[in-house]
Amino acid sequence: MADPVIRLSDAHLTLQGNAGPVPILRGLSLQVERGETVGLVGPSGSGKSSLLMLMGGLERATGGLVQAMGQDLTALDEDALARFRLSHMGVVFQSFHLIPTMTA
């Protein structure tokens, strides 16, 4: 059987806030198989965007394992992550910051 498209195992994400560390994701495990459709829902502030950033290699896990297409994203440096995203992922940002003087 092929590797899942996304696999998180005991993934943690803690960000530094003004008052100290803020745990965002705590021990999350998830597996998404090829061809599977998944919806991510929850209230504002529940970590949905942070989870997507982690799965896309745009944010670094502070613990656990994050794999995409069989590649361990936690083992890649910033340049390798950028190359991986270039070859294997498309990212649409919530705030896309278009240049106001240009049209799409």
Structural domains of the chain, count = 1
* Res 99: pLDDT: 76
The CATH number that applies at residue 84 is 3.40.50.300
Q: Characterise 71 by phi-psi region: left (phi > 0), alpha (psi -120 to 50), beta (else).
A: beta
Specify which residues 25 forms β-bridges with: 13
Residue with tokens 């991510």: 40
* Res 1: pLDDT: 66
**pTM metric for this prediction:** 0.83
* Res 104: pLDDT: 65
What is the rounded CA–CA span in Å between residue 27 and residue 95? 27
Domain that holds residue 74: 6-88
**Does some domain include residue 64?**
yes
**Does some domain include residue 49?**
yes
List average pLDDT for each run of 10 residues in the chain, which is 104 residues long.
91 95 96 95 93 93 96 95 92 74 74
